[in-house]
Amino acid sequence: MAPWALLSPGVLVRTGHTVLTWGITLVLFLHDTGEPDPARPRTYPIPPLRQWEEQGELLLPLTFLLLVLGSLLLYLAVSLMDPGYVNVLPQPQEEAKEEQTAMVPQAIPLRRCRFCMVLQPLRARHCRECRRCVRRYDHHCPWMENCVGERNHPLFVAYLALQLVVLLWGLYLAWSGLRFFQPWGLWLRSSGLLLATFLLLSLFSLVAGLLLASHLYLVASNTTTWEFISSHRIAYLRQRPGNPFDRGLTRNLAHFFCGWPSGSWETLWAEEEEEERDGSSQAV
């Protein structure tokens, strides 16, 4: 590996996320707060994680550590995995799938990407950061330094949910360790790091909560961030009154998380088009 590859944006972002995650965890475990009194050294508050550990109650600290580790592993999985790249040189199975797609009645014609020149499946989009076309493209996440697409979108939602649980728990732990006293200069020196951690966790919790809520809404309606924002610019959505891929809440969730019922997006689009044509003819 070339030395400069270690300074690539992906390596720097993932390293920064890992260091920040364990740094905040160490603060929550090790930071003492309150006004120290030499005559009564253990009467001032200490963080709940330290209290549980000193009292021999290891279940909750271990659970918290496992959740932190799980969220970090999910982050790395989403960040490093193939989000669903369209192969530049199609394999025999993909060639057969493209031929089948082209034969779907009333299906929208496939378009060729003007950047990498591959034949794009329906709902795919070219990512300029990754320089690849991604199936069921949702967005390019700078915090992941990777696209969120057909293959890693379910894991991305699971990561957001687990990360939000860890952040809210960490927020509670940080707030529980804050005890205000005077003089404020002494309090700030003893609790400034924990206060900064609390503010950082508050910001991250807000962002993670908003992201999770928005993605659950998109999953429930079987749409993507790109389609939701740019429906007026997308050929297969521009002239449609609704979402041609929406099959109801239950089937949308089952397809997103379990891959059931299976089927190409082109087939669903064609079925919706056929239903609209039948409805129009009956109305006439």
What are the pLDDT digits (tens) for 236-257?
A: 888 777 888 999 999 999 999 9
In the annotation, is 141 catalytic? yes
Domain edges within the chain: 7-283
Given 133, 141, 147, 258, the catalytic residue? 141
What's the pLDDT band for 264 if we cut at 50, 70, 90? confident
Report, as an integer, the average pLDDT of 147-155.
Answer: 97
- In this predicted structure, the answer to whether residue 96 has a pLDDT above a threshold of 50 is no
3-state secondary structure the chain: CCHHHHHCHHHHHHHHHHHHHHHHHHHHHHCCCCCCCCCCCCCCCCCHHHHHHHCCCCHHHHHHHHHHHHHHHHHHHHHHCCCCECCCCCCHHHHHHHHHHHCCCCCCCCEECCCCCCEECCCCEEECCCCEEECCCCEEECCCCEEECCCCHHHHHHHHHHHHHHHHHHHHHHHHHCCCCCCHHHHHHHHHHHHHHHHHHHHHHHHHHHHHHHHHHHHHCCCCHHHHHHCCCCHHHHCCCCCCCCCCHHHHHHHHHHCCCCCCHHHHHHHHHHHHHHHHHHHC
pLDDT of residue 43: 42
Answer with the residue of higher pLDDT: 44 or 55: 55
What's the pLDDT band for 276 if we cut at 50, 70, 90? low
- In this predicted structure, the answer to whether residue 51 has a pLDDT above a threshold of 60 is yes
Report, as an integer, the average pLDDT of 169-175.
Answer: 91
What's the pLDDT band for 282 if we cut at 50, 70, 90? low
- In this predicted structure, the answer to whether residue 91 has a pLDDT above a threshold of 70 is no
